[in-house]
A = this chain, B = another copy of it.
Amino acid sequence: MPTTDKKRNRRQDRAPLDAKAQASRQREISISEFFTKNRHLLGFDSPAKALLTTIKEAVDNSLDACEEAGILPRVRVEIHLEQDPPVASGVNGNDNNSSNGNAKPGTVREERYKIVVEDNGPGIVVNQIPRIFGKLLYGSKFHTLRQSRGQQGIGISAAGMYGQLTTGRPVTIYSRTGPDQAAHRFEIQLDMKKNEPVILADEETIWEVDQGTRVEIVLTGSYKRGQHSVDTYLQQTAIANPHVQLTYCAPKGEPVVYESVAAELPVAAVEIQPHPHGVELGIMARMLKETKCRNVNSFLKEEFCRVGPKTAEAILTAAKLPPRKNPKRLQQDDIQRLLGAITETKIPAPPTDCLSPIGEELVLAGLQHGITADFYTSVTRPAAVYRGNPFQIEVGLAYGAQLPGDELARVMRFANRVPLLYQASACAIHKATLTANWRSYGLQQSRGALPSGPLVILVHMASVWVPFTSESKEAVAHYPEIIKEVRLGLQEAGRHLQRHIRRRVREREAEQKQSYIQKYIPHIGDALQEILILDDNERDEVIVTLTDTLERSRKF
């Protein structure tokens, strides 16, 4: 029952608002306020998902840092149940009680967990730590075209923000950049209004590791097993990252260790310049303004990939621009013509050494290590391009053995070696899998559905920039080039599977024939013996001859 003055407010609210009144309500929205209210965009819409997302972001960062530093990653993940009382049931996406007219106190109660992620990476230099963990949209990967797990500069600070939001506790970071350096300990919070870090603790400390980073976040979440669980995420991470050693301590449970299958790091992905065909007017204008090059000719050659002297010349002639012209002097319609010329000019596809696919052998190894089946196959497609960004698709299939035969196939989606567990139906990989024709490979598939059978499908997209459908990085956007490549990969792998399935069928038929022969020949023998009045030797001869003949016929 609202108080009378609230009632009065309400009545006022109903009054129409003229331009002035509407203007008075205009306000700036801080990026952290925005993501607090839209936390489902970051993957914090349910307590189970929040717990997973937090671990995901921390592990992604650890693996990126290790690989960039040329260190074989050893990552330790711990989930500790805290004793504090639970808080507002409102966070709980699964709290059905709030859905009926009369809101009762929540019965489904999420609990408090302390998440710890520790790596053997290069550590983080002290002055960077506050902003990396206490500021949204701050990172090293956004401005470079290079394959990496993180790209937005949102993830880990968002996880910290969520912890702070639900428990009021800061993020704790330990970092040591080498045995000769002192270890450092931070407690960081995020100022929601300013989107700036607040430093609660900043001190040297003793930490018994030579180097590495350790992140501790306390949050309200719920720990679940099954398809969308941390367990699944780590299993799949191990499959797609055979060079990584993962140690996992679940709440009340023995530590699980995923040993590394591969002895050395994947080939480091190099950074590339943007490809001319992927650049629009606005971006081009900004690049021209910011370039250090003194003339458009060198601008084209230096700032873009795949533009050599010949190509640059071709472009500038087509654009009717003098090679010596100062990039900063270009006018709107100059830029217009430049872009027109680029569109017209034949330019080779971007280099692909910016990509670091898992590789067919290791996809196979990963699958064999993680999944028990009769048959495995893997395909690594050649690199392709969408909106000027190179990308590469890999597909792996595991078939048969203990895998459930009557269910739909299980699809494991990966982007830059990171497992994608949510929003399958919104993902380009899922769409491509649905639209592939699995019947022709000897599997069952009802219209618009996944194939059914004892099958696990692995799809990996490696790219310098993965276009996710939301900041939570759970599904790949439906770019036609991407869907096409995934489908081609699935078809190639599908044909391998088809051969396997055909062989199995033939073998089964052969065995049957064989058994028939063994079953009936003797009787035929006896029959003939009676009809033709043969002695036992003659009968046995007949049987042998018959068997031989039939066996031979069976061969062909």
Contact = CB atoms under 8 A, between A and B. Distances in A.
A78 B136 CA distance: 39
Nearest to A272: B10
Interface string A400-412: 0000000000000
B137 A87 contact: no
Given A26-B128, A88-B339, A469-B426, A102 B349 contact: yes
A113 B477 CA distance: 25
A127 B24 CA distance: 11
B88 A279 contact: yes
A28 B138 contact: yes
Given A3-B301, A281-B165, A88 B33 contact: no
A301 B2 CA distance: 8
Interface in A85-144: 85-91, 93-94, 96, 98-106, 122-125, 127-128, 131-132, 135, 137-140, 142-144
Contacts of A168: 281-282, 285, 332, 335-336
A226 interface: no
Contacts of A19: 69, 122-125, 177-178
A296 to B, nearest CB: 15
A527 to B, nearest CB: 52
Contacts of A37: 142, 465
Interface string A299-322: 001100110110000000000000
A537 to B, nearest CB: 63
B17 A88 contact: no
B470 A165 contact: no
Contacts of A9: 271
A342 interface: yes
A31 interface: yes
Most buried by B among A28, A153, A302, A305: A28
Given A105-B343, A384-B100, A2 B484 contact: no
A385 B306 CA distance: 55
A329 interface: no
Q: Is the interface of A mostly helix, strand, loop or mixed?
A: loop
A135 to B, nearest CB: 8
Contact of A85 (B101, B105, B336): B336
A347 interface: yes
Nearest to A349: B103
Interface residues of A, number: 148
B385 A192 contact: no
A273 interface: yes
Contact of A1 (B87, B127, B152, B348): B348
B142 A34 contact: yes
Contacts of A146: 13
A253 interface: no
Contacts of A142: 27, 29, 33-34, 37
A20 interface: yes
A323 to B, nearest CB: 15
A270 to B, nearest CB: 4
A370 interface: no
22 contacts: A6-B305, A9-B271, A16-B69, A16-B70, A18-B177, A19-B124, A20-B177, A23-B127, A25-B140, A27-B140, A28-B137, A29-B139, A29-B153, A31-B31, A36-B283, A85-B336, A88-B339, A93-B480, A102-B348, A165-B280, A425-B425, A426-B426
Closest 10 CB pairs of A and B: A16-B70, A99-B481, A165-B282, A426-B426, A25-B140, A90-B278, A13-B270, A29-B137, A19-B177, A23-B125
Given A34-B142, A168-B282, 9 more contacts: A1-B348, A29-B153, A87-B343, A90-B278, A91-B280, A93-B480, A98-B385, A99-B386, A105-B346
Interface of A: 1-3, 6, 9-10, 13-14, 16-20, 22-23, 25-31, 33-34, 36-38, 40-41, 45, 65, 68-71, 84-91, 93-94, 96, 98-106, 122-125, 127-128, 131-132, 135, 137-140, 142-144, 146, 152-153, 164-168, 177-178, 192, 220, 268, 270-273, 275, 277-286, 301-302, 305-306, 308-309, 332, 335-336, 339-340, 342-351, 353, 382-388, 423, 425-426, 446-449, 465, 467-471, 475, 477, 479-481, 484-485
